[in-house]
Amino acid sequence: MRNELPGTTAELLQADWSTFEPEYRDLAAQTLAAENVAGWLSRWSRASELVAELYNRLYVATTVNTADAEAEKRYQHFTEQIYPQASEADQGLKEKLIASGLCPPGFEIPLRNYRAEADLYRAENLPLISEEFQLSNEYFKITGAQTVTWEGKETTLQQLNPVAEDPDRQRREAAWRLSIERQLADREALNALWQKLLDLRLRMAANTGRDYRAFRTQQLLRFDYTPADCHKFHQAIEETVVPAAQRIYERRRRLLGVDRLRPWDVSVDPYGRPALHPFQDVAGLKRGVSAIFHHVDPVLGGYFDSMVSEELLDLDNRKNKGPGGYCNGFDAVRKPFIFMNAVGTHDDVQTLLHEGGHAFHVFESAHLPYHAQLSVPMEFAEVASMGMELLAGPYLAHDYGGFYTPQEAARARASHLEGILLFWPYMAVVDAFQHWVYENPSQAMQPNACDAAWGDLWGRFMPGVDWSGFEDAMLTGWHRKLHIFEVPFYYVEYGLAQLGAVQVWRNALEDQAGAVARYRQALSLGGTVTLPQLYAAAGARLAFDAPMLRDAVQLLEEKMAGFEALAEGA
């Protein structure tokens, strides 16, 4: 008699490895043949998606309240007691399927991935991976506890963000200084955490006979591009985007009437207009974004409304909540969960539109029968999110149930396009820094060397803002990029996907409905085709070259100028 797997979320949250072990043991004992492989794979999929959902729910619990000791204890138990056992069991089943020579329809890409993972798998790395989970969670504990006293009130650093848009330059500077001083207070703690993480990662790679970059490239299943392509992309950004970014900064400096653009000058409206205040509370944020999604596509709007009704959103900022935002998939129920830190800014609207794109990926691919088919390359997963930001742009105004007057909506769209242009150079800094780290691991063990490398790259890709007097803040910028600590090498995906999203948007400028239909079709493929094929399905091309970037820059600058003119009533 087969062991019963958890049937409800409550049962799942009480599960231990003993809950899953009998099912894995039975699957390992079965003989595979053409007539039973589909059923066998379905059973394995159910077990693995339950384990994945348990992990994701426990992870969510540690981020919604970083001070929850019980949540941290349960998460630690999973990483130490369940994850290693499940990984070892999954690996055995992957090897069993590979050895069988069988391939159920639609499983070609997962099998390709399994072969790469089997080649990388080492049992001695399982406890190291568990340790990495714990160390990565320490980053959230350190940064999640960062608060300051601002105008007599304890405030999280995220809650201080709106002050960056205040027309009062002295107030902006005061808030920026306060925030950066608090972040620098954790410099030594983050340096010590970094050294532990780097040492751990180097040991994991060494256990496979690889350097860490080669190890991570294979672990990330990057079959369609190489580190050399990443460097090509960096060079293309330096050639085509950095000059555009400099034009943006110089124009901003002139409009602000300052002799030097400083770090506290980059978010304020250069025309002196007050910051956009799209909503008063989280309920207003949900209402507006729901209306926007319904205009993009009624089915997508329905997906979002179901998340609201099923409480699959945690949007407000508060003390002891982890930083940033994410969309996590609850794989067994095929539902997404969105986490973010809303404080009332337009960035919050953009974040929810972005994470909504990820959520739609979960919904659109939910029909796929096997858990492994849900694994989508991040380079395309981010097209889903960044593409949605652009596809939603036409519906930001009150006329569509959104947040703004037509002039405010145009201003928001111009700011969004400007942000895309300014993002690519920053992305290049982050990605090039990580290549430097893992090309020079002995140097990178010294935080001062990391500071210097970050500073060199900042000078190469980010000219236009004067950081004089705040060199320590600039040099430690890598401390404030959680991906470097949490998910190494996961950042170039954003740059590649942004270029893909701009291509989707270019199509939408000619045929919005057609572009949305292709977008949804591409999302529905999940991980069943290659990365270039996913881009093609969405009407785009995976690209690293200067000509493609140059065309994107030209389109973005042209449309940005038009939106700015509309915002100013020209």
Q: How many CB atoms lie within 10 A of CB 569?
A: 8
In a domain, 306, yes or no: no
- Summarize the chain as % helix, strand, coil (round to 5): 70, 5, 25
CATH number, domain containing residue 454: 1.10.1370.30
pLDDT value at residue 144: 87
Q: What are the pLDDT digits (tens) for 76-105?
A: 999 989 999 999 999 999 999 999 999 999
Q: Which of 74, 102, 121 is the last residue of a domain?
A: 121
Q: How far apart are CA 289 and CA 353, in angstroms?
A: 7
Asked whether residue 170 is domain-assigned, the answer is no
Quick one: pLDDT at residue 319?
87
Please indicate, yes or no, if residue 324 is contained in any of the structural domains. no
Beta strands in 107-210 (DSSP E): 147-150, 153-156
What is the predicted pLDDT for the residue at 1? 45
Same-domain check for residues 98 and 235 = no
What's the CA gap between 446 and 89, in Å, rounded? 38
Last residue of a domain, one of 121, 139, 155: 121
The verdict on 396 and 512 lying in the same domain is yes
Instruction: Decide if 413 is inside a domain.
Output: yes
Q: Is 484 a domain residue?
A: yes
Which domain, by its residues, includes 76?
A: 9-121
pTM: 0.90
388 within some domain? yes
Instruction: Return the pLDDT at 535.
Output: 98
* Tokens standing for residue 55: 């992990």
How far is Cα 13 from Cα 29, in angstroms, rounded to an integer? 27
Give how many domains the chain has, as a whole number: 2
SS3 category, 341? strand
Q: Which helix (H) or strand (E) holds 327?
A: strand 326-330
Contact between residue 546 and residue 389 where contact means Cβ atoms under 8 Å apart:
no
- List, for the chain, all residue ranges whose pLDDT scores fall below the cut of 70: 1-3, 570
Partners of residue 335 on adjacent β-strands:
330
Q: Look at the block and give the residue holding tokens 């072969």.
A: 115
- 113 and 233 fall within a common domain: no
Of 415, 339, 342, 329, whose CA–CA distance to 373 is shortest? 329
Q: Do 432 and 568 belong to one domain?
A: yes
382 within a domain of the structure (yes/no): yes
Last residue of a domain, one of 91, 121, 151: 121
- Give the DSSP per-residue string, 63-113: HH-TT-HHHHHHHHHIIIIIHHHHHHHHHHHHHHHHHHT---TT-HHHHHH
Q: Look-up: residue for tokens 């960056």?
A: 164
Same domain, 423 and 559: yes
Rounded Cα distance between 144 and 149, Å, is: 15
Place of tokens 């969309």: 327
Assess whether 112 and 246 both reside in one domain.
no
127 within some domain: no
